[in-house]
């Protein structure tokens, strides 16, 4: 029986561990926290998993929250106008529902499930010396501790990493009590764009205490939303979030008029990181090899909500590659080939995410504006969150955007330059 070590108890690491366990591998998971510590800790992320990623979870037998998590049926875009109103406001229908499950709920449950099924769980912070020890005792070592210090062992790939600094300041609040958007009669992720300032995303989700909403600000560094550093008190964090909503996205602030409250004392998060693609393999001093997984090797800004989706797709691809390897050695060539197969998907995500972090060119403003008049544009944009490769066909160049809009009857409702 082949022995595999997974370092990290997140979306990709636990999916891989449970999938390998189900197929008869001898799997050990190393986590820096127990399931109870995860469950009782601070929120770790925002997340919204779309149809393809959820299908992978179902294939793994891990879709444990169907019927409990709110079904997200659409994705809407609003653009703030100079008068404080909305210059653009539309919502696209998703072809398949999406779900957002607090990772404290999901990862704690999956870690418990892995242990209940006989998996070995080691609770211990991992350093380089530990990896040396593990590499000598396991057939394959997978590092899935996405944004931890060990990710820095993997060299940055400059050709695939155009940014050298954080492009957004991030601030998250999980809340109860947010009212519905009165103009739409189905649950949707709301993307509110404030030109030159940043974005507010509102995500229907499931947390420890039931259904909730996630308020997620992405602020341009140095701008008016980049003010959460040093805010440690959760209520002060929420109060600041609400003040900024009232100033920049008052239509969303109106939903809080009935009173909102944090879901729990650990329901806030803030920070920033540099979007980075890393080389997939690290060779240890002993000669042992470590393969990076998901966010370890492709860490995009969360502006397009792709982190957990990428993680699920990476886990499914890596699992298939491990099975296909049979008794063959997990050498550098195999590791590189496996990552490149994942990169064939992740490249499209990275291109789209990096494009959304930059000031939008005129043709993108026209496309966003056209979503108001053309439901097909709104729906296609929404479903691009599930399949970002589709943006290549209509989004990146003026020529393809013009051809697409012409086929729909011409551009309409263009957004002015910020």
pLDDT average, residue stretch 326-341 = 98
115 lies in the same domain as 253: no
117 lies in the same domain as 96: no
Tell me, yes or no, whether 413 lies in a domain: no
The CATH number for 76's domain is 3.30.9.40
The residue among 330, 356, 382 that closes a domain is 356
Predicted pLDDT of residue 416: 43
Q: How far is the C-alpha of 61 from the C-alpha of 225, rounded, in Å?
A: 40
Asked whether the predicted pLDDT for residue 317 surpasses 80, the reply is yes
If you write DSSP's letter for every residue of 151-214 in order, what string do you get? GGGSPB-GGG---SS-S-EEEEEEEE-PPP-TT-SS-EEEEEEETTTEEEEEEEEEETTEEEEE
Q: Is the dihedral of CA 77, 80, 84, 90 positive or negative?
A: negative
Helix, coil or strand: residue 96: strand
37 lies in the same domain as 184: no
pLDDT average, residue stretch 217-235 = 97
The residue among 271, 298, 313 that closes a domain is 271
Asked whether the predicted pLDDT for residue 350 surpasses 50, the reply is yes
For the chain, the domain total comes to 3
Asked whether the predicted pLDDT for residue 183 surpasses 80, the reply is no
Count CB atoms within 10 A of the CB of residue 391: 20
Confidence of residue 418 (pLDDT cuts 50, 70, 90): very low
Confidence of residue 182 (pLDDT cuts 50, 70, 90): confident
Mean pLDDT across the chain: 95
Count CB atoms within 10 A of the CB of residue 258: 9
311 lies in the same domain as 173: no
Tell me, yes or no, whether 316 lies in a domain: yes
Confidence of residue 417 (pLDDT cuts 50, 70, 90): very low
138 lies in the same domain as 287: yes
Asked whether the predicted pLDDT for residue 283 surpasses 60, the reply is yes
Asked whether the predicted pLDDT for residue 171 surpasses 60, the reply is yes
Predicted pLDDT of residue 184: 67
117 lies in the same domain as 226: no
Predicted pLDDT of residue 147: 73
Predicted pLDDT of residue 185: 72
12 lies in the same domain as 119: yes
CA distances from 346 to 107, 146, 311, 316 (A): 23, 15, 10, 13
pLDDT average, residue stretch 239-253 = 97
Tell me, yes or no, whether 17 lies in a domain: yes
What are 89-139's pLDDT values in tens digits? Answer: 999 999 999 999 999 999 999 999 999 999 999 999 999 999 999 999 999
Confidence of residue 186 (pLDDT cuts 50, 70, 90): confident
340 lies in the same domain as 364: no
144 lies in the same domain as 23: yes
88 lies in the same domain as 218: yes
pLDDT average, residue stretch 39-47 = 97
Query: Residue 318: enclosing H or E segment and its boundaries?
Result: helix 307-325
Predicted pLDDT of residue 131: 95
The range of the structural domain enclosing residue 303 comes to 3-62+102-163+275-356
The residue among 252, 271, 290 that closes a domain is 271
190 lies in the same domain as 155: no
Asked whether the predicted pLDDT for residue 327 surpasses 70, the reply is yes
Predicted pLDDT of residue 411: 62
The CATH number for 119's domain is 3.50.50.60
Tell me, yes or no, whether 48 lies in a domain: yes
49 lies in the same domain as 82: no
Share of the chain above pLDDT 90, in %: 94
Tell me, yes or no, whether 415 lies in a domain: no
Query: Residue 5: enclosing H or E segment and its boundaries?
Result: strand 3-7
């Amino acid at each position: 029986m082949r022995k595999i070590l997974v370092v990290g108890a997140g979306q990709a690491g636990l999916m891989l561990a449970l999938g390998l366990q189900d197929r008869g591998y001898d799997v050990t998971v190393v986590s820096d926290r127990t399931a109870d510590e995860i469950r009782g800790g601070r929120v770790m992320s925002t997340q919204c998993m779309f149809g393809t990623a959820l299908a992978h979870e179902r294939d793994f037998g891990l879709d444990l929250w169907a019927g409990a998590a709110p079904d997200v049926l659409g994705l809407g875009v609003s653009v703030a106008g100079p008068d404080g109103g909305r210059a653009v406001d539309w919502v696209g229908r998703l072809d398949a529902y999406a779900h957002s499950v607090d990772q404290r709920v999901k990862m704690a449950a999956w870690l418990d499930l892995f242990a209940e099924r006989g998996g070995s769980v080691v609770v211990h912070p991992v350093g380089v010396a530990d990896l040396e020890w593990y590499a000598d005792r396991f057939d394959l070592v997978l590092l899935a501790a996405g944004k931890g210090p060990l990710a820095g062992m993997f060299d940055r790939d400059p050709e695939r990493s155009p940014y050298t600094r954080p492009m957004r300041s991030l601030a998250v609040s999980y809340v109860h009590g947010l009212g519905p958007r009165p103009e739409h009669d189905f649950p949707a992720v709301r993307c509110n764009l404030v030109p030159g300032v940043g974005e507010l995303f509102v995500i229907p989700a499931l947390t420890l205490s039931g259904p909730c909403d996630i308020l997620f600000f992405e602020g341009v560094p140095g701008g008016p939303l980049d003010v959460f550093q040093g805010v440690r008190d959760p209520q002060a964090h929420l109060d600041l979030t609400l003040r900024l909503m009232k100033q920049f996205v008052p239509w969303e602030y109106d939903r809080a008029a009935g009173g909102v409250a944090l879901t729990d004392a650990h329901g806030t998060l803030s920070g920033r990181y540099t979007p980075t693609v890393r080389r997939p393999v690290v060779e240890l001093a002993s000669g042992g090899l470590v393969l990076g997984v998901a966010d370890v090797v492709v860490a995009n800004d969360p502006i397009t909500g792709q982190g957990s989706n990428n993680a699920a797709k990476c886990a499914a691809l890596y699992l298939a590659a491990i099975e296909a390897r049979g008794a063959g050695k997990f050498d550098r060539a195999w590791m590189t080939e496996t990552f490149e197969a994942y990169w064939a998907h992740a490249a499209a995500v990275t291109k789209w995410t990096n494009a959304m972090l930059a000031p939008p060119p005129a043709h993108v403003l026209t496309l966003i504006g056209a979503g108001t008049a053309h439901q097909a544009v709104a729906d296609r944009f929404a479903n691009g969150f599930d399949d970002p490769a589709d943006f290549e066909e209509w989004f990146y160049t003026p020529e393809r955007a013009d051809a697409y809009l012409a086929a729909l009857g011409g551009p309409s409702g263009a957004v002015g330059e910020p």
